[in-house]
Structures are given as structure tokens and as C-alpha cells.
């Protein structure tokens, strides 16, 4: 009888643990102030790309990182960062980056210069 109770207890614990598991986004600690609908999509590590300057409609220069072929999640082909350091703001400069790719509803139907990206590390490539 004791073996039956232990087996039942283990089976119950197994079922409860499987049911309570859910796919949640990691606690990544974003540092930029993103809109509420922006969500973590994936982590990029040591991705090589190239800086590109764009003159926006307000005649301000913004910089994106061209990172074609990285993932089908990068719908624009480029990454638009919220925390690009000044040393990397050089048109045509090669960089190696790591960080968090973000997404939002209908991103694939939105005209944006780059997918939202938060840099955790950046290295200038000479």
C-alpha cells in the first residue's frame, strides 16, 4: 500500500509540474523605454553587420545596422537600436553586436527603417 501511495504521489507531482510549465519570455531586463506592445523576440549573439546612416523626414540622421540573412524575424533587413553608442555612428563601419531583437503586432506590415533592437554589446571591426 505504501508503494502505491508513493507512486501516486510522484505521478501527481509529475502531472502538476507539466501542466504548470508555460512558455514565458525570459527576464532580460531591457534598458530602453520601449512602447508597451513591443515584446522580446530573440537574442542575437556576435552578429556581424554594417552601420548605415539614414536621413529621416525631420532631417535628422539615424543609424541602423544592416544584418541581412540573420533571421526571418528581421523583416526590414536592418536593426534600429535604442542605445547605439556614439563611437559606432559611422556610416559603413563593420560591427559585431549582441542583444535583444524585439517585435510588435503586425511588424511585417509596418514601414520601419529597422527592427527594434537593444544592444548588450558592440565591437567595432577594423
Residues facing 44 on adjacent strands: 99
Give the Cα-Cα-Cα angle 99, 104, 110 (nearest 5 degrees). Answer: 110
Give the pLDDT confidence score for residue 24 in this predicted structure.
46
pTM value?
0.72
Give the pLDDT confidence score for residue 68 in this predicted structure.
65
Residues facing 47 on adjacent strands: 97
Residue 94 near residue 49, CB atoms below 8 Å: yes
- Domains by residue range for the chain, with CATH: 29-125 (2.40.50)
Ordered per-residue pLDDT tens for the chain, 126 residues: 556 444 544 444 434 333 333 334 556 678 888 888 999 999 999 999 999 999 987 888 999 999 866 767 777 789 999 999 999 999 999 999 999 999 899 888 888 888 899 999 999 998
Q: Quote the CA–CA distance of 60 and 53 in Å, as a whole number.
A: 10
Amino acid at each position: 500500500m505504501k508503494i502505491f501511495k508513493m507512486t501516486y504521489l510522484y505521478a501527481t507531482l509529475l502531472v502538476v509540474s507539466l501542466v504548470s510549465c508555460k512558455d514565458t519570455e525570459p527576464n532580460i531586463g531591457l534598458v530602453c523605454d520601449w512602447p508597451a506592445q513591443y515584446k522580446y523576440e530573440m537574442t542575437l549573439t556576435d552578429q556581424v553587420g554594417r552601420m548605415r546612416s539614414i536621413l529621416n523626414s525631420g532631417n535628422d540622421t539615424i543609424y541602423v545596422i544592416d544584418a541581412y540573412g540573420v533571421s526571418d524575424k528581421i523583416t526590414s533587413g536592418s536593426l534600429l537600436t535604442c542605445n547605439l553608442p556614439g563611437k559606432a555612428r559611422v556610416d559603413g563601419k563593420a560591427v559585431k553586436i549582441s542583444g535583444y531583437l524585439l517585435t510588435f503586432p503586425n511588424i511585417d506590415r509596418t514601414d520601419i527603417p529597422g527592427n527594434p533592437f537593444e544592444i548588450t554589446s558592440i565591437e567595432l571591426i577594423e
